Structure 1
């Protein structure tokens, strides 16, 4: 389904953004390393630039940062002040070996140094000098090794440690922290050195509440060492293909577990049976496991279960009647399974459902009637199914629906008229070649839309007139090739846009850049495969919030963009060509 201009999503398991939860992601790519930080934290420069009256504390910290090399120690300052100074230096990337020494014995509580460049064992001495005051450390993506963890032994009050993507830490390192009995959160995501023997070092962390071992491929048989962690509420071993049914047997006594993620493991229906005693479990992620509908018999005992991910499993219609007993479910992901519309009759009683994913299942109009009574639905994923215009009539009463994905379906312009009454709709994906201007005209009542994906739809300049109804739009994608500079003029008044993708529209020129120069909230802009040139870049100088700019297959070079970045777009951290 779809056409040449459409892009199909990656159908592999994405361990960093699963349906049941989103976890932080670190990367050692220089172009995007600080994108997450720059969005979530405001540097002092931004604060001073945007606030008419910064606080006295803001001004003091800003001045200290300017003169940072004049100070040899901050240990005489109150802890909250030295903590703010430290945080600002990290955010602005001004911290280095020399400056770090000034924070020795400052009794800092939180050190968020994930992905900070240059962090290695030589910094750990100053880290450990915070002593019993230190409560949390994020060293994700650093070059810390096993000997470096030895410094933490005196930080007895540590509650949270994050070593994601620290690929030089092994079982020896885990043994160094086994005495930190106050730890409640520990994460070693994507570690190729930790083995089952190393997991045994965690058996003494009796206060551990959250443990993340995602993508640790050598921990087979190690979960048996967690038996005594009676307070453990969250365990993530996603994408550990060494995890088997025997490991599930080892977890059977962890009755405090509320969240269990075992995606892409070797767990089968037999292993799921060991989980039936976990009566506090609210979230279970089994994406990509070799389970069938037979596992539902065990899951019916989990009365607290609210979030269930069975995407990319071996589900068929056989045994699917057991779904009707999971009446407390709020989120159900069945995407990429060999199930048909016949399964939907067993879902109609799940009246608490708020999120239903049927991506790439053999669902057609015939079964859609069984969704009509799911009045609490907020998110419905029907991408790459056989649902057409006739089936959409059964969605007309779902007035709480906020997100609907109809990409790669057979829905036509006529069917979109049936969505006009869904006044709560905020996100709509219509990436399909058969959608045209006429379909867009039927949606003008949806004035609350914030995200509209028309990636492969055949929208022309005439159709962009209807976009004026969507004043709240924050993201817009129109990449079907039918736009010219005239149509882009109708986008210039959508001042709430933070993401705009107009790639594949080969007739766009520098005039389009001029039209969108007033969209000052833009964070991401893509006008690849167009006629944009270096001369048009001057129109982007006003987009001070821009962090990502893509102009591939245009008459623009990386040097052209670098000049723009240096002179006018200091927040730009990702661009193509690069």
Structure 2
């Protein structure tokens, strides 16, 4: 046997693993072993397991997970078992919610013998009695062949300090990838040892550092001082989540300036209430001329000014992907400098801008100005949620006009109650002749009533293959006829999703079938009409369906439907779709009778059907 996997979950009566350990002794050829024990609360003795591991001299990959093993306290035999594994190349040890585990020193000493090890993952989560990790560095420093190291210490509040970790790290001269996660850390005020260890790892190419729920101050100076020496670093991910004692990031900005080889950068700051100098990030970005991917996620932080970010972006001429998310930043009122910074990103191919719960954001007038220079862009995603002061999207529409290479566009407007005019958006869409995927969502836009310009915008999209249009809780929307007429031109369309939910003034869908019947290439259709109590009938839907000869997947949802007593047209439409393979029909809260006869008569002709889902709920 070369590979063995054993999993025991929720086996509360399991008390004896001795036979398993004895069985391992004879598996001299075993190369891969994975053992999982979760919610096995009575298991305490690992001595037999350790004895068995000793004999696996050919083992190359070992993964052991202990989860919610409340009685586990002694893992010394596990450390003993590791000592003979000179051939081991990958080791993963996970201890989660092992509340009685106090000492990992024997395990650390066992690591010293793994001279061939290339990949090491150690995770200690919710081991809140774990007090001594002093020998962790001693174990690590002998692993001179290790190229990838992942270490997680989460909610292990009993430990005292990790100075040895830095001492061990500095010996790992072959290390290429490093990921460290510290959650609920009582010792983050002094990271000098960790910083010193990082300074020696000049071959590092990828670094991920995560700090979560750190109630004490974070020694960001020592940490960033260590980063400055990583001249070969290509990918850096830093996360600070619920770190309310984090007061400054100026040391990070200085460190970024030295990482001239960096190609991917991800920075996340969530719920750092006292972090007032976030705008300084722009100064750190200026020197990253080789950067190709940048992700900034800022949530619930006191940011008001993004002008320096705009200046920083101007220098990133090699940038190909940019994702910027701002959430719960209630003091932010305008993003003009940021928009102007976008103009210089001439190599940009993917852009995502997401603004959630920025309830004072009112001015995006320069967004279009920033977008129109991005002529190489292939993907654009814009999200505005709960931005109640937002009233004008005209510049966005104008900016779209010059994005001739754009292939994917996603726009979400939710809870932006003041938005009414889409004319500029429609004009911009008209120019996107290369667009292949379009997704637009309007949610809780109470003032939205006229979408005729959206229908006009669709007419030129002969290359469009996927279209998703979602209208949810748009109470003033009454007429979708112009939109339906716009569908007629989408001759290349393969996937179509239309959703109208809680549009309770929507009265006329008579042209829906007229729009559908021209989509002869469509293979997947999803249509939802939910709580649109004002509509009268959908006979045209069946007439349109019967022309979709290429259709393979169909999903229809009708909720609170006043017209289900006559489904003859729908049934007739279904009878023609002989190539259908998947059908999902959902009827919910239909107060009137349902013409099940016509519906099922249509289903009888679907000889190629492989999957059928029918739901009748509160009918």
Whether TM-score is above 0.5 comes out as yes
Larger strand fraction of residues: 2
Tell me by how many angstroms 1:382 deviates: 2.8
Residues 75, 103 of structure 1: 8 Å contact kept: no
The counterpart of 1:72, out of the listed 42, 53, 65, is 53
The offset of 1:457, in angstroms, is 6.1
Deviation at 1:374, TM superposition (A): 0.8
**SS state at 2:341 partner:** helix
**How many residues of Structure 1 are paired with residues of Structure 2 in the alignment?**
457
1:99 Cα deviation (Å)?
9.3
Distance 1:472 1:113 in 2: 46
CA deviations over 1:399-439 (Å, ceiling 9, x no partner):
23424233236485533353253533435242433399867
Tell me the equivalent position of 1:393.
456
Q: Contact 1:114 / 1:139 at 8 angstroms: preserved in 2?
A: no
The 5 A counterparts of 1:365-444 are: 365=423, 367-384=425-442, 386=448, 388-389=451-452, 391-398=454-461, 399-408=463-472, 410=477, 412=479, 414=481, 415-420=483-488, 421-426=490-495, 428-432=497-501, 433=503, 434=506, 441=513, 442-443=515-516
Q: Is the 8 A contact 1:115 1:140 kept in 2?
A: no
Equivalent residue for 2:283?
A: 249
**What is the match of residue 344 of structure 1?**
397
Query: Match of 2:144, SS?
Result: helix
Taking the aligned partners of 2:478 and 2:526, their CA distance within structure 1 comes to 16
Alignment of 1:148-547 (within 5 A): 149=165, 152-164=169-181, 166-168=183-185, 170=188, 172=191, 174-175=194-195, 177-178=197-198, 179-189=200-210, 191-193=212-214, 194-197=218-221, 198-216=223-241, 217=243, 218=246, 220-222=249-251, 223-239=253-269, 242-264=276-298, 267-288=305-326, 291-312=334-355, 315-317=363-365, 320-336=368-384, 337-360=390-413, 362-365=420-423, 367-384=425-442, 386=448, 388-389=451-452, 391-398=454-461, 399-408=463-472, 410=477, 412=479, 414=481, 415-420=483-488, 421-426=490-495, 428-432=497-501, 433=503, 434=506, 441=513, 442-443=515-516, 445=519, 448=522, 450=524, 452=526, 454=528, 456=530, 472-473=552-553, 478=557, 480-482=559-561, 505=589, 530=617
| Structure 1 pair 185–318 and aligned structure 2 pair: CA distance change class (3 A) | closer
For residues 266 and 137 of structure 1, the distance between their equivalents in structure 2, rounded to whole angstroms, comes to 38
Normalising to structure 2: TM-score of the pair? 0.58
**TM-score, with normalisation over the residues of structure 1?**
0.61
Q: Is the 8 A contact 2:369 2:395 kept in 1?
A: no
Any idea what the Cα deviations from partners look like across 1:29-68, whole Å, max 9, x if unmatched? Answer: xxxxxxxxxxxxxx899xxxxxxxxxxx9x9889986999
Q: State the distance in 1 between where 2:611 and 2:110 align.
A: 40
1:249 is paired with a residue of what secondary structure? Answer: helix
Match of residue 604 from structure 2 = none
> Which range moves more in the overlay, 246-255 or 446-455?
446-455
Query: Which deviates more, 286-295 or 363-372?
Result: 286-295
Paired with 1:470 and 1:403, the residues of 2 have a C-alpha distance of: 17
Cα distance, 1:364 vs structure 2: 1.4
Contact 1:107 1:134 in 2 (8 A): no
SS at match of 1:287: strand
Indicate if the aligned counterparts of 1:110 and 1:135 stay in contact, CA closer than 8 A.
Answer: no
Contact kept? 1:109, 1:136, Cα under 8 Å? no
| Structure 2 unaligned blocks of 5 or more | 8-26, 38-47, 118-142, 327-331, 356-360, 385-389, 414-418, 601-608
User: Would the alpha carbon gap of residues 338 and 149 (structure 1) be closer, same or farther in structure 2, given more than 3 Å must change?
Assistant: farther
Cα distance change on mapping 1:447 and 1:230 into 2, 3 Å: same
Cα deviation for residue 340 of structure 1 reads 2.5
Question: Displacement, 1:253?
Answer: 1.6
Distance 1:503 1:113 in 2: 49
3-state SS of 1:72 partner: helix
CA–CA distance in structure 2, aligned partners of residues 325 and 155 of structure 1: 45
Contact 1:413–1:435 at 8 Å: present in 2 too? no
Task: Provide the C-alpha distance between the structure 1 equivalents of 2:36 and 2:182, rounded to a whole number of angstroms.
Answer: 32
Structure 2 equivalent of residue 33 of structure 1: none
Distance in 2 (alpha carbons) for counterparts of 1:73 and 1:494: 58
Which structure would you say has the larger RCO, counting Cα contacts within 8 Å and 6 or more residues apart? Answer: 1
For structure 1, list consecutive stretches of 5 or more residues without a partner in the other structure: 1-42, 46-56, 533-578
Distance 2:152 2:508 in 1: 46
Give the conservation status (yes or no) of the 8 Å contact 2:379–2:408.
yes
Which of 297-306 and 348-357 deviates more?
Answer: 297-306
Deviation string, structure 1 residues 113-152 (Cα, Å, up to 9, x no partner): 7896659883666567432343324455855676384555
Offset at residue 351 of structure 1 (A): 0.7
Structure showing greater radius of gyration is 2
Distance 2:281 2:57 in 1: 51
User: Larger helix proportion, structure 1 or 2?
Assistant: 1
